[in-house]
Chains A and B, each alone.
Chain A
Amino acid sequence: DTAVSQTPKYLVTQMGNDKSIKCEQNLGHDTMYWYKQDSKKFLKIMFSYNNKELIINETVPNRFSPKSPDKAHLNLHINSLELGDSAVYFCASSRLPGQPYINYGYTFGSGTRLTVV
C-alpha cells in the first residue's frame, strides 16, 4: 500500500564504509528525488531523475551516486562515509508539472536516518 517506500529506516555505520539506500514508488510518477534533511530540519535537494534520466544534480560530493534502474526506483549509494553525512535522507516522487506550471507536489518516503560513527 505504501506509496513511496525507503529502506532501511535506520542505518548506523562506521566512517569509511559504503552503504546504499533504496527507494521505490508505486504511484506511477515520472520524477523521483533525493533530499537531505540536516539536524536543523532544512530539506536540501540532492538529485532528481525524470524517467530514469538525471535532471538535477546539486553540489553533492562524488561519493554520492544515484541510480535509477527504472522510473519506479531510485537508489542512493554512498562511498567512504564521513561523519558529516549523518542526516535523514528522504526519497520523494512527483508527477510532471502540469500547465500552466502547476506543480502537483511531492510524495515523500518516511526517511532513512543515517548515523556515521
Chain B
Amino acid sequence: TQLLEQSPQFLSIQEGENLTVYCNSSSVFSSLQWYRQEPGEGPVLLVTVVTGGEVKKLKRLTFQFGDARKDSSLHITAAQPGDTGLYLCAGAGFSGSRLTFGEGTQLTVNP
C-alpha cells in the first residue's frame, strides 16, 4: 500500500506570510497532484506534476515534485485569507487511475 504523509497537519498564519506544505512517501509515483478542499465542497484539483524535479507555478502557489518522485511540496507566497482550506496531495501509481491521498493540511490564513 502506498502511503503519503503530509506535514504540517494544521497551519495557522497571518495574512502576508509565506508557508510550505510537505508531502512525503517511501513509494515512487508516476504523477502527483494537489487539491484544495473548502468546507462543504469536494476537493478541487490545483495541479498535476509528472516529471521528477518539476516545478509548476499557479499565481502565488509553487508546486515541486521531488527528483525521485517520492515527495512534493507546496509553497504559498504572501498568503491571503482566500487561501484558507484543506490542502491534499495525491499520488498516482503506474497502473490504472487510482489515487492515494495524503492526510491533508488544514491551512487557516488570518486577516
Chain A residues close to B by CB (< 8 Å):
4, 31, 40-45, 48, 50, 55-56, 90, 92, 94-97, 100-111
What is the bound-complex CA distance between A44 and B41, given in angstroms? 16
A38 to chain B, nearest CB (A): 10
Given A101-B30, A108-B42, A110-B40, do A42 and B104 touch, yes or no (CB 8 Å)? yes
| B binding-site residues for A, Cβ under 8 Å | 30-31, 33, 37, 40-45, 48, 50, 86, 88, 92, 94-99, 101, 103-104, 106
Q: Are B94 and A111 in touch, CB under 8 angstroms?
A: no
Bound Cα distance from A104 to B55, whole angstroms: 17
Min CB gap B48→A, angstroms: 6
For B99, list chain A residues within 8 Å (CB). 45, 103, 106
Query: Could you tell me the distance between the alpha carbons of A101 and B13 in the complex, rounded to whole angstroms?
Result: 37
B97 touches A111 (CB 8 A): no
Whether B97 lies near A102 (C-beta < 8 A) is no
- B contact residues around A90 at 8 Å (CB): 42-43
Closest-by-CB residue of B relative to A105 is: B45
B31, A42: Cβ atoms closer than 8 Å: no
Separation of A26 and B95 alpha carbons in the complex (Å):
25
Beyond known contacts A100-B30, A102-B48, A103-B33: 17 more, CB 8 A cutoff:
A31-B97, A41-B37, A42-B101, A42-B104, A43-B88, A48-B98, A90-B43, A94-B97, A95-B97, A96-B97, A97-B92, A97-B97, A102-B50, A103-B92, A105-B33, A110-B40, A111-B40
What is the CB-to-nearest-CB distance from B105 to chain A, in angstroms, rounded to a whole number? 10
Measured CB to CB, the closest approach of chain B to A32, in angstroms, equals 10
B70 → chain A closest CB, angstroms: 15
B residues less than 8 Å from A100 (CB atoms)? 30
Most buried by B among A44, A92, A108: A108
